[in-house]
């Protein structure tokens, strides 16, 4: 079994994989992370592990995993199931690498657009020869609402909620319409433009806001909230040793 750990800004996800399937998944705070990982290793026959952490110092956890498992630290120079044709490959975010890895693994030799709707919205494209070409980055839902509040004098703090209107009848509704509908139109627009240039495009939507947005999009998509974890597991499988 594999242990896959994604350390986020607020919460961390810990997944236990049997081959390609998640058999156990838990979301914890960073303070709870080390203890929870210990419990997982006690409970499951974990042979290998991978850790992805951008903003937190996880050296103690890395040392523990290296002692207990065949450990892989997520990095830009690992073996991947696609060729990285990004102009500056060393600057490509490791989360985007993991998403591209899973797309190449799950949908081989297809034109692929992976949309990760989280803090930022990232667009990543692989062609049908498994070449990663790049994509785009824009602000996510929460970031857009916070920007409206922080960079104006009077706009309130609001959060995303279900809406069925275009015309906002008050300030909060206008903000909701602008942000929620704006993101939907943006994503649909990107999908339409990619589809013009690349036939038989497969679109994968993931990230924290994926479920909220998926029902609103006109274009057909494949939604999977655990795609990043699956990508990390795919990378682990390619890079772990058999010792």
**Could you tell me which residues are annotated as the binding site?**
6-13, 86, 93-96, 116, 119, 171
Residues making up the binding site for K(+): 116
- The beta strand positions in 152-235, using DSSP E, are 201-206, 222-223
Determine the Cα–Cα distance for residues 170 and 163; give it in Å rounded to an integer. Answer: 13
Annotated binding site for ATP: 6-13, 119
Across the strands, what pairs with 138? 121
CA atoms within 13 A on the CB side of 97: 24
Report how far residue 139's alpha carbon sits from residue 85's, in angstroms, rounded to the nearest whole number. Answer: 24
Please calculate the CA angle 31-24-40 and round it to the nearest 5 degrees. 50
Nearest to 142 by CA among 131, 164, 157: 157
Torsions phi, psi for 150 (to 5 deg): -75, -30
Helix (H, G, I), strand (E, B) or coil at 231: helix
- E strand or H helix at 99: helix 94-106
Specify whether 128 is catalytic: no
Take residue 219 and report the two structure tokens written for it.
């274009």
Active-site residue identified among 95, 164, 200, 243: 95
Q: Per the structure block, which two tokens stand in for 73? A: 């630290």
Binding-site annotation: residue ranges for substrate: 86, 93-96, 171
The residues that are catalytic are: 95
């Amino acid at each position: 079994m594999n242990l896959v750990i994604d350390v986020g800004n607020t919460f961390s996800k810990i997944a236990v994989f049997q081959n390609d399937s998640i058999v156990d998944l838990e979301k914890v705070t960073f303070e709870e992370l080390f203890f929870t990982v210990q419990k997982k290793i006690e409970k499951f026959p974990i042979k290998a592990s991978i850790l992805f952490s951008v903003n937190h110092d996880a050296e103690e956890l890395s040392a523990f995993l290296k002692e207990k498992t065949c450990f892989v630290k997520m990095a830009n120079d690992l073996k991947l199931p696609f060729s990285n044709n990004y102009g500056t490959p060393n600057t490509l975010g490791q989360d985007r690498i993991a998403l591209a890895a899973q797309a190449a693994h799950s949908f081989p030799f297809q034109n692929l657009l992976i949309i990760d709707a989280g803090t930022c919205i990232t667009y990543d494209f692989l062609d049908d020869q498994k070449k990663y070409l790049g994509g785009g980055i824009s602000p996510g839902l929460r970031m857009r609402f916070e920007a409206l509040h922080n960079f104006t004098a009077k706009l309130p703090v609001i959060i995303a909620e279900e809406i069925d209107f275009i015309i906002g009848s008050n300030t909060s509704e206008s903000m909701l319409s602008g942000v929620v509908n704006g993101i939907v139109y943006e994503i649909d627009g990107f999908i339409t433009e990619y589809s013009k240039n690349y036939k038989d495009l497969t679109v994968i939507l993931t990230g924290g806001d994926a479920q909220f947005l998926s029902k609103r999009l006109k274009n057909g998509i494949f939604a999977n909230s655990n795609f990043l974890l699956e990508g990390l597991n795919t990378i682990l499988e390619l890079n772990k040793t058999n010792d």
